[in-house]
């Protein structure tokens, strides 16, 4: 039987550790900032390890173990069959390759760190290497267990948050006590009957190509004393889902694009074909909300493609239908131009339904 193997990916500010177990399954063990952590409560003595397989995939016709419901994003049968094949690291990027002998799929998970912000980016590619087509019904971009570090009273000490996002009330973050979400110390582990958690999970999702229409593709888990904060996002202009749940006396997070259960999504892979998930990112800081959002902002600036506008930073006035409520006329637009110029705007944009008109201001000024 193969021995255990540690794989690490480290930047100036973040250390990521993976473990290839004696069962040959790769698990994401820790995502730790390199900054010093204050002493926290004693860890749980129920479970020494709350990590989960690096990714979770569901195929049509495949089932789920008895730890979690099939309505959740973890504990699918395929995850237990994905065996480590190899890994390759180039700078701050790590690729982990696993293979399932039954379905004959090869799974490559890519992890990326950054030198100046404690963020981890991830996505997964599934390739069909058999002789028959396979039908994907779920492919997670990232799964990570053990978020509270074995905190003894995690259900009391941590708060989960999500953000509603409607037209006139955008990015409204809502906090939830974990027991109110069904995430609590339920005693199932103490029964010693092989149960590693409840069937509960708190999920947030959106459907369709308006990916922020109702909810932001973001979430957060933080300690009440601001000594530990996780913040994540899914980078997709289509459907998505994330969830947090309990597993081995701790909290996990799973991030995904569309799924069959939530979005009626399926992807057929013919032999040799592949599918790559949407990217996602997670930030971890031993601090509070402001520091977490600052780290996420730095990450977003790191991945933004280079463009002259980002270097020159022109000032843009965008009506975005709110000033004129989607009813622009020559008279109304002309009345806005000089006030916008007075505020320092260099470009004037009208966003009215499908028509987007952009005008340089100076020609309008006599």
284 confidence band (pLDDT: 50, 70, 90): very high
pLDDT in tens, 54-102: 999 999 988 777 677 788 999 899 999 999 999 999 999 999 999 999 9
Mean pLDDT of all residues in 11-37: 94
Domain locations along the chain: 5-303, 309-364
pLDDT at 366 over 60: no
The confidence score (pLDDT) of residue 353 equals 45
The confidence score (pLDDT) of residue 64 equals 79
| Superfamily of segment(s) 5-303 | alpha-galactosidase from lactobacil brevis (2.70.98.60)
Measured distance CA(99)–CA(102) in Å, rounded: 9
Q: Which is more confident, 258 or 198?
A: 258
123 Cβ partners below 8 Å, 6+ apart? 109, 110, 141, 276, 277, 278, 279, 280
pLDDT in tens, 34-61: 987 775 655 555 677 899 999 999 999 8
pLDDT at 230 over 50: yes
pLDDT at 103 over 50: yes
Report pTM.
0.88
pLDDT in tens, 107-143: 999 999 999 999 999 999 999 999 999 999 999 999 9
Give the chain's radius of gyration (CA, Å).
Answer: 23
Could you tell me the CA-to-CA distances from 26 to 51, 107, 268 in Å, in that order? 10, 11, 25
Q: Give the position of tokens 């267990």.
A: 145
Measured distance CA(103)–CA(60) in Å, rounded: 11
Measured distance CA(48)–CA(36) in Å, rounded: 22
Could you tell me the CA-to-CA distances from 242 to 24, 72, 144, 199 in Å, in that order? 27, 10, 12, 16
Q: Which is more confident, 49 or 229?
A: 229
Q: Which is more confident, 217 or 361?
A: 217
Q: Give the position of tokens 């255990």.
A: 4
């Amino acid at each position: 039987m193969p021995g255990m193997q540690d794989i690490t990916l480290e930047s100036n500010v973040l250390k990521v550790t993976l473990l290839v177990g004696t069962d040959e399954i790769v698990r994401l063990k820790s995502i730790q900032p390199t900054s010093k952590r204050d002493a926290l409560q004693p860890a749980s003595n129920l479970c020494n390890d709350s990590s989960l397989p690096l990714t979770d995939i569901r195929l049509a016709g495949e089932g789920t173990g008895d730890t979690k419901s099939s309505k959740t994003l973890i504990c699918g049968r395929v995850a237990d069959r994905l065996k480590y094949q190899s890994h390759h690291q180039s700078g701050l990027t790590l690729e982990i390759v696993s293979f399932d002998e039954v379905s004959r799929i090869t799974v490559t998970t890519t992890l990326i760190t950054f030198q100046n912000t404690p963020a981890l980016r991830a996505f997964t590619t599934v390739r069909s290497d058999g002789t028959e087509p396979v039908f994907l019904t779920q492919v997670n971009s990232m799964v990570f267990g053990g978020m509270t570090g074995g905190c003894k009273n995690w259900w009391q000490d941590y708060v989960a948050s999500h953000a509603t996002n409607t037209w006139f009330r955008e990015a409204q973050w809502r906090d939830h006590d974990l027991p109110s979400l069904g995430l609590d110390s339920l005693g199932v582990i103490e029964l010693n009957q092989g149960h590693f958690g409840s069937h509960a999970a708190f999920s947030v999702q959106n459907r369709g190509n308006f990916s922020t229409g109702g909810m932001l593709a973001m979430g957060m888990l933080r300690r009440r004393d601001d000594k530990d904060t996780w913040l994540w996002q899914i980078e997709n202009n289509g459907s998505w889902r994330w969830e947090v749940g309990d597993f081995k006396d701790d909290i996990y997070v799973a991030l995904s694009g569309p799924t069959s259960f939530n979005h009626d999504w399926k992807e057929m892979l013919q032999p040799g074909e592949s599918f790559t998930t949407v990217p996602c990112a997670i930030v971890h800081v031993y601090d509070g909300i402001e520091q977490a959002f600052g780290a996420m902002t730095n990450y977003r600036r790191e991945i933004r493609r280079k463009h002259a506008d980002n270097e020159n930073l022109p000032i843009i006035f965008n009506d975005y239908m709110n000033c004129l409520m989607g009813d622009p006329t020559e008279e109304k637009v002309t009345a806005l131009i000089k006030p916008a110029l007075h505020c320092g705007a260099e470009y004037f944009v009208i966003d009215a339904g499908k028509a987007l008109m952009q005008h340089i201001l100076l020609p309008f000024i006599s």
